[in-house]
């Protein structure tokens, strides 16, 4: 009888200790289960960081492409400005100095305009 009583007492003590361990684990750190969960969370966070990094990479790549396009257009614009636009006043002054009747000048002017149109295209 006495042994039955002591074993019941032991079991209740064990139960109490188990509860205490659970309580302490909750207080001082993760259990094995929550550690696994934490590891999974860490992997998920890494994958999310990778995805975010790749998204940023795609955006950066687009910026690089666009920057290169802009540089090319700038280069072409400089060529157009220096090679064509800045020479127009000179061409005009040359045309003005030629003392030809307007009827003779017209075809020349028309031709130079169509040339500009080609460059604009």
Does residue number 121 form part of the binding site for another protein (CB under 8 A)?
yes
Site for another protein in 29-58 (CB under 8 A): 42, 45-46, 49-50, 53-54, 56-58
Contact 119, 80 (CB under 8 A): yes
- The backbone torsions φ and ψ at residue 98, rounded to the nearest 5 degrees and listed phi first, read -75, 115
Give dist(CA 101, CA 97) in Å, integer: 12
**Cβ distance to another protein smaller for residue 23 or 46:** 46
Task: Report the candidate in 39, 59, 41, 37 with the shortest Cα–Cα distance to residue 49.
Answer: 41
Does residue number 119 form part of the binding site for another protein (CB under 8 A)?
no
Q: Which two tokens stand for residue 29?
A: 């750190």
**Cβ distance to another protein smaller for residue 18 or 75:** 75
Does residue number 111 form part of the binding site for another protein (CB under 8 A)?
no
**Cβ distance to another protein smaller for residue 24 or 56:** 56
Does residue number 87 form part of the binding site for another protein (CB under 8 A)?
no
Handedness of CA 44, 45, 48, 50 (dihedral sign): negative
Contact 84, 116 (CB under 8 A): yes
Closest CB 41 distance from another protein, rounded Å = 12
By the criterion CB under 8 A, which residues form the site for another protein?
42, 45-46, 49-50, 53-54, 56-58, 60-62, 64-65, 68, 72, 75-76, 79, 83, 121
């Amino acid at each position: 009888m006495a042994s039955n009583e002591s074993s019941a007492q032991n079991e209740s003590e064990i139960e109490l200790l188990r509860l205490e361990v659970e309580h302490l684990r909750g207080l001082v750190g993760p259990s094995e289960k929550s550690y696994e969960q934490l590891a999974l969370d860490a992997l998920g966070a890494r994958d999310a960081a990778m995805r975010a990094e790749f998204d940023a990479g795609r955006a950066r790549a687009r910026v690089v492409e666009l920057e290169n396009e802009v540089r090319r257009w700038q280069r072409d614009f400089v060529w157009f400005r220096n090679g064509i636009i800045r020479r127009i006043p000179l061409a005009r002054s040359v045309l003005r100095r030629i003392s030809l009747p307007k009827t003779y000048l017209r075809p020349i002017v028309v031709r130079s305009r169509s040339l500009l149109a080609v460059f604009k295209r």
